[in-house]
Amino acid sequence: MEYRKARSRDLQELMALFRAATEAMDAQGIPQWDEIYPSVEIVQADIDQEQMYVGQVDGKIAVVFVLEPCREGDYESANWQYPAERFVVLHRLCVHPRFQGQGIARQAMDYLEQEVCNSGYSCIRLDAFPQNPAAIRLYESRGYGKAGEITLRKGLFYLYEKKL
C-alpha cells in the first residue's frame, strides 16, 4: 500500500469511494453516512487543509482518512484519560468496499499512528458510530479506550482515545 496526502484531482474518486461505502453500510443496516455527509465541500476542505490521506493499491484509492490537529473545544464533554497530551482527531476512515476484508483498515491504522507520532503528537481521538460494529472492533482491538459519548446529526457516537 502506498500512502500520500489527497489531492484535488482525487476528488471524484474519493466521492465515488464514499458513495460506495455509504451504499454498503446502508445494505448492512448502518445508517452512518448519507447524501449530506461526507459532502464534496467537506472532502475538498480536507484536501485543501492537507489533512486527508489516501492509501492506494494498484493505483486505486483503497482507503482514506483525515488527521485533523486538535482545536479548542474538540469533544470537550468526554472524560479524557490524557487531557494534557497534544492530539489529532481521526475522521472519515473509510475502506472502499471492494478492498474490505483484506486488512486494509488495520494497515491504515498502523500507518496513521506512526504518522501522528512522527508529527510530534502523542494522542489520537476519534468518534465511532455505535451501529458500526466493524469500526468499534477495529478501534478497541488497537487499544483505543472509550472516553464518552456525543450526539451528532446522525445520533449517538462513542468517543475514543489512544496515547501513542
Q: Is-contact 124 162, C-beta < 8 A?
A: yes
% of the chain surpassing 70 pLDDT: 98
How far apart CA 2 and CA 78 sit, in angstroms, is 34
> How does the average pLDDT of the chain come out, rounded?
94
Domain ranges for the chain, please list them.
2-163
Residues in the chain: 164
Residue 74 has pLDDT above 90, yes or no: no
Q: What is the CATH number of domain 2-163?
A: 3.40.630.30
94 C-beta neighbours (distance < 10 Å), count = 25
Q: Which residues contact 76 (CB under 8 A, 6 or more apart)?
A: none
**CB-based contact 74:86 (threshold 8 Å):** no
The total of other beta-carbon atoms located within 10 Å of residue 156's CB is: 12
Confidence check: pLDDT of 72 > 60: no
pLDDT 10s digits, 99-137: 999 999 999 999 999 999 999 999 999 999 999 999 999
Cβ–Cβ < 8 Å for 134, 153:
no
Say what the pLDDT of residue 87 is: 92
pLDDT of 16 strictly over 70? yes
pLDDT of residue 61: 98
